[in-house]
């Protein structure tokens, strides 16, 4: 779904909703007949995605209003930001490796988005906020990758 957030807060809200939707979809897939090993992975990933959504919500509440009210419309009017529908992927019919690849790809796209916006931020407070978001997303991507390898070794 293409979106045109006008502010950083709107962008973070959309990404938070995406993580929440992905978490719900992962649980649905786990509960609707995925093999046991994949169920364990899907439930783990769902918990992780929900925690990430909660982290973004907390971040939005704690962050100063200035950076969150930074306008992106000059950029997003020409380059809409696209977040896939989290329900697109049929995780219940994927093996662990493919599930991990899908989730990893999603997080890589978010890292790319944060990096891109960070490079183009015009004020220091926005750059600092985007740097924090980038660190959160990169840390979570690394954690997911490490845990996915462990899940595959089970």
The SS3 assignment for 122 reads: coil
- What is the distance between the alpha carbons of residues 81 and 99, in angstroms, rounded to a whole number? 24
Q: Which CATH class is domain 2-153?
A: mainly alpha
Domain residue extents for the chain? 2-153
Tell me: the pLDDT tens digits for 86-95?
788 889 889 8
Beta strands in 39-82 (DSSP E): 81-82
Q: What is the pTM of this model?
A: 0.86
**Using one digit for the tens of pLDDT, what is the confidence trace for 38-67?**
999 999 999 999 999 999 998 888 876 666
């Amino acid at each position: 779904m293409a979106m045109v957030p006008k502010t950083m807060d709107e962008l973070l809200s959309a990404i938070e909703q995406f993580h929440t939707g992905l978490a719900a979809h992962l649980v649905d897939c786990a509960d609707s007949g995925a093999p046991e090993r994949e169920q364990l992975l899907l439930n783990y990933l769902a918990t992780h995605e929900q925690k990430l959504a909660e982290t973004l919500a907390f971040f939005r509440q704690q962050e100063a209003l200035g950076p969150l009210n930074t306008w992106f419309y000059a950029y997003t009017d020409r380059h809409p930001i696209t977040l896939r529908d989290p329900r697109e992927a049929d995780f219940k019919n994927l093996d662990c490796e493919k599930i991990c690849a899908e989730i990893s790809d999603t997080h890589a796209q978010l890292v790319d988005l944060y990096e891109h916006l960070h490079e183009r931020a015009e004020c220091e407070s926005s750059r600092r906020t985007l740097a924090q978001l980038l660190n959160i997303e990169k840390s979570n991507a690394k954690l997911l990758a490490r845990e996915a390898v462990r899940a595959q070794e089970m």
